[in-house]
Amino acid sequence: MSEKPTTHFGFRDVPVAEKQKLVGQVFTSVARSYDLMNDLMSFGVHRLWKRHFVAVSGIRRGDRVLDLAGGTGDIAALIKPVVGEEGDVVVGDINAAMLNVGRDRLTNRGQVSGLRWAQMNAEVLPFPDNTFDAVTMAFGLRNVTDKDKALADICRVLKPGGRALVLEFSKVQSELFGKLYDFHSFQVLPKLGQLFAGDADSYQYLAESIRKHPDQDTLKSMMEQAGFGRVEVRNLSNGIVAIHRAYKL
């Protein structure tokens, strides 16, 4: 009998069919503490990354935008004022707990109009071809089981000329800085997870998942293979994160 195909879950190899469930358990566990932990992990810089991401997105008033892996609502809250009353934002996430956190937070702020929330898998998007002017995905692609399939489906649901925008952890450009970053990721981060979220293992996985994610050039090639053109890469914070912006041909 042939062995079951495997994929990585952090530094572990697991059956492909199990990864989605394992990732789901991680994000269900961390949903309530997710934003606090982002602040602690990045010293608050993640908020600047996200603002810059939206600022350079090219999203305009009246656009229809799909924000994938957008559960906690950070990106949607920044996009909605840009698209205005004429536009709308669909927030999609595979994890119901993350969606609930984001929807409750934005509702409490009075941000309701023009926002829709839906549980979905980025690999099989429940929309017709040529639906959106832009698709954003911040800190979510590395957790997708089949990234090539997700990128191809993002391309499918975009209108011709539409933009795909991915903000994701990437490869640090400085060797010395990379060593400091590794120490923070593998020695400090799990301890913060245990202290503030009561969950060291999930944050160990998150650190490992960053190292397994394709680097800047590899992700650029993957987006080109998925059917995108004019793929542009912008490093932030010495490559800790990178913005990939691409256009549907």
> Which residues are documented as binding site for S-adenosyl-L-methionine?
72, 93, 121-122
Q: How far apart are CA 249 and CA 237, in angstroms?
A: 30
By C-alpha distance, which of 150, 167, 147, 148 is closest to 158? 150
Rg (CA), the chain: 17
Residues placed in the known binding site: 72, 93, 121-122
Interior/surface letters 56-91, b for 16+ CB within 10 angstroms, e for the rest: ebebeeebbbbbbbbbbbbbbbbbbebbeeebbbbb
Contact 247, 160 (CB under 8 A): no
Phi first, then psi: what are they for 81, rounded to 5°?
-60, -25
